[in-house]
Chains A and B, each alone.
Chain A
Amino acid sequence: MTVWQSVLIIIGMFAVTFGVRFVLFARADKVVMPAFIERALKFVPVAVLTAIITPMILMPNQHMDLSLSNPCLLGAFAAFIVGIWRQQQLLTILVGVLVFFVAKYGFSL
């Protein structure tokens, strides 16, 4: 790969990445979101974060693993239960990570 190609790739990737992130911010003071869009957007955090992590949890090696030997599944399940029950983010993270690492390494020590 030539230097020019490298530079073009980086500039191109920057342009589309920054463009997607910035285009709405650029006109933010003029943009008025219709009320129904505003109501739909409140589902963005749950929808996107769920779509990101579900395959990481259920398909840690690119194929479905619903067995108890899948530490991601156990850790995520524990975090989910604690999250629903106690609603404390730090506790949720700690319990989830702890269960994950015990499931991953605990029995091999």
Chain B
Amino acid sequence: MNTMQDMRRGAVASIPMIIGGIPFGLLFGSLASSYGLSPWFAVAMSAVVFAGSAQFVALGLIALHAPIWVIVSTTFIVNLRHLLYAADLVKFVKHLPMPMRVIMGFGLIDETYAAVRPMYEVGAADEKNGHKVYLGSFLSFYVMWNVTTILGVLSGELIPGMSEWGLEFAMVATFIGIITPYLKHRAFWLCLLSAGVSSILLSGLPNNLGLLVSAVIGVVMGFVSDSSSKTISDSDDSIQEVSK
């Protein structure tokens, strides 16, 4: 399969999440301009930082006149979950040349991880083409995020109330479609339940810390359950089977 086809598969797997992200890009651009920030500031942030939730948090902090070090350290905490993604993907990128790893690091967002990671599981991505699939997902998101930011900056009233339509539910449904094939083993159920319950209980924590802590709790609970079970190898096999 050639490069374009691999990239297209990555982009296609990301379509529902890209649609779900459109209102957020428009909202980010229009919020930034309604806060009186320079148009270039919002556009540059989407192009250079490329981190949706952290960008919204930063806007809020700027509106509160928070000092720069607070904005930057908050961004760090909000994005810490990406370290988990990188740790999980290390085995798939270690053979790649450094420039490719730089680009993949820049593009490591929730949606691209979510779209591409299961493709390695089922053999739709491997050492040879995985990074191309990844690039297809990342670039299509990058284009969407920057175009919608610019449109939002140019006109906050472009499509009034679009953020109320509920398009972001496409992302929720996609994530559910990614999660459910894993749920063939008790350890993954425990992981899901513990991460879900703690994300609600900890939702009051500032700076997405609840999300990060819940994710770690879910990973630990899954791991502990897995270790205490006699059928560790079975759980690995079942993921493989299910995903096919």
* Known contacts A13-B54, A79-B176, A83-B177; is-contact A44 B88 (Cβ 8 Å): yes
Q: How close is A73's CB to chain B, nearest CB, in angstroms?
A: 11
Q: Mark B203-222, 1 if CB is under 8 A from A, else 0.
A: 10000001110111111101
**Could you tell me the distance between the alpha carbons of A9 and B32 in the complex, rounded to whole angstroms?**
14
Q: Is the CB of A21 within 8 A of B84?
A: no
Contacts of B54 on A, CB cut-off 8 Å?
13, 17
Of residues A16, A49, A58, which shows the largest number of chain B Cβ atoms within 10 Å of its Cβ?
A49
Q: Mark B93-112, 1 if CB is under 8 A from A, else 0.
A: 11110100110111010100
Q: Is the CB of A57 within 8 A of B172?
A: yes
Q: Is the CB of A17 within 8 A of B51?
A: yes
Q: How close is A7's CB to chain B, nearest CB, in angstroms?
A: 8
Q: Mark B174-202, 1 if CB is under 8 A from A, else 0.
A: 11111111110001100110011011100
Binding stretch for chain A, among B71-79, B142-150, B152-160? B71-79
Q: Is the CB of B179 within 8 A of A46?
A: yes
Q: How close is B176's CB to chain A, nearest CB, in angstroms?
A: 4
Q: How many residues of A contact B (CB 8 A)?
A: 70
Closest to A77 in B: B176
Contacts of B226 on A, CB cut-off 8 Å?
39, 43
Contacts of A23 on B, CB cut-off 8 Å?
83, 86
By size class, the interface of chain B is: 35 or more
Contacts of A67 on B, CB cut-off 8 Å?
none
Contacts of B183 on A, CB cut-off 8 Å?
46, 84
Q: How close is A20's CB to chain B, nearest CB, in angstroms?
A: 5
Q: Is the CB of A37 within 8 A of B41?
A: no
Q: Is the CB of A48 within 8 A of B85?
A: yes
Q: Is the CB of A100 within 8 A of B166?
A: yes
**Could you tell me the distance between the alpha carbons of A29 and B180 in the complex, rounded to whole angstroms?**
32
**Could you tell me the distance between the alpha carbons of A39 and B166 in the complex, rounded to whole angstroms?**
36
Q: Is the CB of B174 within 8 A of A93?
A: yes
**Could you tell me the distance between the alpha carbons of A75 and B172 in the complex, rounded to whole angstroms?**
9
Chain A CB within 8 A of B81 CB: yes
Chain A CB within 8 A of B44 CB: yes
Interface residue ranges of A55-93 to B (CB < 8 Å): 55-59, 64, 71-72, 75-76, 79-80, 83-84, 87, 89-90, 92-93
Q: Mark A31-47, 1 if CB is under 8 A from B, else 0.
A: 10100111111111111
Q: How close is A27's CB to chain B, nearest CB, in angstroms?
A: 9
Q: Is the CB of B72 within 8 A of A9?
A: yes
Contacts of A43 on B, CB cut-off 8 Å?
187-188, 191, 218-219, 222-223, 226
Chain B CB within 8 A of A109 CB: no
| Extra pairs beyond A43-B226, A96-B173 (14, CB < 8 Å) | A9-B58, A12-B69, A17-B54, A21-B83, A24-B90, A29-B95, A40-B222, A44-B87, A45-B118, A46-B195, A50-B191, A50-B214, A72-B169, A100-B166
Query: Could you write out 8 A-B pairs with CB less than 8 Å apart?
Result: A6-B40, A9-B72, A10-B45, A13-B49, A39-B227, A47-B191, A51-B196, A79-B173
The 10 lowest CB-CB distance pairs between A and B, nearest first, are A47-B218, A83-B180, A22-B105, A96-B173, A43-B222, A12-B72, A92-B177, A89-B177, A51-B214, A16-B76
